[in-house]
Amino acid sequence: MVADLRVRCPDCKRQFRPRKGTRRRYCEDCRPPRLRPDDEPAPVPDQGPGPIEDACRAELERVDRLTTLEGAALLALARDADRLQGSARASAIRELVKLKPVAFEGTAAPQRDRLDDLAQRRRERRASA
């Protein structure tokens, strides 16, 4: 059985459980935790579209899917992938790759088989004769 470590605050005399790994003697009401300026991530300045966003926008415009819901979501993920760093960027790129087939669904040219090619040649031959 693990012992329940409780500490009594010297100011208000109330008992509290300090977080593991701290040497806190005072409760958070008497002495709130310090907010250090380094604790908040620095805002990333807007530098315009990055390379992933540019490539994604070009592909969406080529297939005329920029204004669809899936296209907008794909573009937002591409924007995030350009601005994020580390594992967050890898996660955004992974989701971008997953969403891409959904956004481009139905835009591929229909695949032609040998019969289509033969029929096309036959039409061309008749037209030229």
Q: Rounded mean pLDDT of 19-24?
A: 83
pLDDT in tens, 42-83: 666 677 888 999 999 999 998 888 888 989 999 999 998 998
- Domain assignment present for residue 121? The answer is no
Same domain for 89 and 61: yes
Query: Could you tell me if 59 and 94 lie in one domain?
Result: yes
Q: Could you tell me if residue 96 is inside a domain?
A: yes
In a domain, 56, yes or no: yes
Provide the domain count of the chain: 2
pLDDT digits (tens, 9 = 90+) for 86-123: 898 999 999 999 988 888 887 766 677 888 888 999 99
- Asked, for residue 55, whether it belongs to a domain, the answer is yes
CB environment 20-30: b (16+ within 10 A), e (fewer): eeeeeebbeee
- State residue 1's pLDDT score: 47
Owning domain of residue 15: 1-31
